[in-house]
Amino acid sequence: MALRKIRIQGDSVLTKTAKEITGMTGRLRTLAQDMLETMYEAEGVGLAAPQVGILKRIVVIDVSEERNQPVVLINPVITEADGEQTGYEGCLSVPGKSGLVTRPMHVHVKARNLDFEEIELEAEGFFARAVCHELDHLDGHLYVEKVEGELLDPSELEEEE
Ligand code: NI
């Protein structure tokens, strides 16, 4: 396993559409492991392959406090979405910033796992937010496009609390 370099807003790879994965390979397994390691090292809750410069449809997410519940989604698709939540979001590709984004409260996702088996999962609340955020990366979108109001520095948020 190895850490990968996280691409920062302004890098054109973050605006491109990632390609569907047609089958698992050793390289893709290594990529998934590296993405998890990179996400944990950066203390993020999710990472999409374009953020490490790879235009493939794979994302990793871990919204657990214990940081021990990794989720790897290959070719993920949101098949149902309902409800609404508005909350602060950040991104490892937009360091030092945070902004309010409205997302569905619940999503149903179809994807493939590391064995390239079809899986389905339900995501609620913050997990649903993370899924929506990471899937946007696969289509070349950053959350900053959806921010309501100002993009903030999180230190300003702490002062408000
Ligand atoms: Ni992000």
Q: Looking up tokens 């919204």, which residue turns up?
A: 63
Ligand 1 centre to CA of 136 (Å) is 8
Asked whether the beta carbons of 106 and 137 are under 8 A apart, the reply is no
Q: Give me the pLDDT at residue 158, please.
A: 62
Please report the DSSP string for 104-151 in residue order.
Answer: -SEEEEEEE-TT--EEEEEEEHHHHHHHHHHHHHHTT--GGGG-EEEE
pLDDT at res. 1: 75
Using the mean position of ligand 1's atoms as its centre, give its distance from the Cα of residue 120 in Å: 22
Catalytic residues: 134
Q: What separation in Å is there between the alpha carbon of 133 and the centre of ligand 1?
A: 6
Location of structure tokens 């996702």: 109
Q: Give pLDDT, residue 159.
A: 59
User: What pLDDT score does 52 carry?
Assistant: 98
What pLDDT sits at residue 88?
95
Residues 57-100 have pLDDT tens digits of 999 999 999 999 999 999 999 999 999 999 999 999 999 999 99
Tens of pLDDT, residue by residue over 2-53, are 999 999 999 999 999 999 999 999 999 999 999 999 999 999 999 999 999 9
Fill in the DSSP letter of residue 136: H
CB 105, CB 83: distance < 8 Å: yes
Mean pLDDT of 146-157: 85
